[in-house]
Amino acid sequence: MSNWICNKCNIEMEDVSDIGLVFKDIDLPPAVGYRCPSCHIEFLERDFVVNELNQAEEMLEGK
């Protein structure tokens, strides 16, 4: 897994699995991503987001 560096603080970001995520007014389960321990900016793990959002969209659009 590649390490992410915060552009602002220039330090390594931490792996976290409790990022709050809201998509189209729906609270999704906590997301996996990265958080800067200094400024606490959060980035989502991209593949995880794509999968989760696709599932959410399928749920919303499945009739």
**Closest CB 34 distance from Zn ion, rounded Å:** 10
**Closest CB 5 distance from Zn ion, rounded Å:** 9
Strands (E), the chain: 14-23, 26-35, 42-44
Structure tokens at 13: 């970001």
> One symbol per residue from 5 to 24: x for binding Zn ion (CB under 5 A), - otherwise; what is it?
-x-xx---------------
**32 and 48 in contact (C-beta within 8 Å)?**
yes
- Residue 49 within binding range of Zn ion, rule CB under 5 A: no
According to DSSP, the residues that pair with 2 across neighbouring strands are none
- Chain residues that interact with Zn ion, rule: CB under 5 A: 6, 8-9, 36, 38-39
